[in-house]
Chains A and B, each alone.
Chain A
């Protein structure tokens, strides 16, 4: 049996998200979901990815000025790197705690900002790495094994 090459890129694509644009919020996640469907990724993986990307996209829209989603699909995994320019996260361990939130009243009125986003992303991906610079932005790498 031939060993699969793990560094072989099947697809790479970049998407941009505008902070504060609640009308378009979700469109990048929708596009990523469509791509995953088209290439025949397992349904269970598609749903987990959709939840994680949508939470991440809402985070950018709610908390940053702009952001980029970089999707890489290799034979055994999906990698989505989200980099935003914005306020950053002061204490990542605290932000990962369920219920901790810095969301505005406006965001809460929309039904978000319950402090569940990051814990929910963690629950749905196989690996999550977050680095952040206060006043600079946040970089989040999500890996999902397919």
Chain B
């Protein structure tokens, strides 16, 4: 009861004042007492509170979150990291979730319960209205950049960023030319089936139902102007790899590919290759090069760059957030890699010369 009122007060406060003004008031009145009175508002951390839970499919729920005043306004297609201390398990779990919906005060995440996923299990089984946890600022580059011709290729729970960007584009006065390919096991397991059907833009494909005669490649070939479209790709890793292989086969310009990536690629376990000689790395966009000496072969490309005083964009340093993502123009790497896309924070040089975008 009290909890509900408190939540309503928080929603009201953020709506009435806006996050910016609330931040001014809260930060200037922060002390040991106020922090105890209301640890949601008087907090140094960016926190979010669950204010509604909706069942999407049998194993998928949408959680509507109210972030506190530290949260910056997200762009559709971005994701947040949830950090949760699960009672009795001691350690802190950190997972990324795409924001499937957002309005001025709230954001939503849509989570599929995976039997092995500790955090998704916790969200489904233990999170209630009023549950509060730390979140990160919105992150990611999977956002709409006013392109005119687009193709979304999504599969499974990878629909969430595609759905967010699609809704955003459809709400614009001038709607771009959109094609949307969405693959899921069966209609029952399709997340956002109704709203997606309602847009009339989505081509559904079911992997466990309907005509099995067409391969993924054949289905994608159906998009005749695929080479002219900017592609947004999101889905399980095996699916992404299949699509990337197809795209490489038709010589698609990887510069125009936007990819969402949270989970460390399975290739991460790959050990750095022992180098016999120094590696020269060229960064095309920065027009500079540096050398990784043979004895530094256990350093990731990012670490090696930093050791030389070269700045490369990066975020989590574990291959999760995608902030460092870049394309391999020539050369070879081991470790975190998807097609021509590599993650310098968790990839190692494997040829004498590397050219990165």
Whether A and B are associated in the same complex: the answer reads no
Q: Which residue numbers of A lie inside 8 Å of B, CB to CB?
A: none
